[in-house]
Amino acid sequence: MHHRDRLLKLDAAAHEALQIFQVDKHPSYMGIGRAKEGFSVFGILNKCVTPMGRRLLRAWFLRPIIDIDVINNRLNTISFFLCCEEVMSALRQTLKSVRDVPHMLKVLFSLLCSCTF
């Protein structure tokens, strides 16, 4: 099965109707600052502590998988962490200190590209 055939195709209207995402303006005066996730399915289920985790979860919500084997593997992983609270807690604490590696590499690459030798 080709990778694209394993994904459910949803358009923006479907995401909106299902309330998958809800972007709220920043609550500060004049709306200055970043928008935040409002009351949505993503907002309720997002327990990620790293930017990479949030981006991956968002990608999964944008393009849901329909491959039953992949779904079962994900469910097994979730079950493991729900049964092992100490492991999950330790992992969350460790991941909180992990920086946004792809962003750091992007900045580094742009700095390297701007250098002339």
Asked if residues 6 and 67 have their Cβ atoms less than 8 Å apart, the reply is yes
What is the residue extent of each domain of the chain?
A: 3-114
* CA dist 51 → 15, 66, 69, 74, 117 (Å): 22, 25, 26, 20, 34
CATH number of 3-114: 1.10.1420.10
Phi, psi of 32 (to 5 degrees): -80, 130
Condensed to tens digits (0 to 9), the pLDDT of residues 55-104 reads 999 999 999 999 999 999 999 999 998 898 899 999 999 999 888 888 88
The predicted model scores a pTM of 0.73
Mean of the per-residue pLDDT values of the chain: 85
- What local confidence, expressed as pLDDT, does residue 101 receive? 86
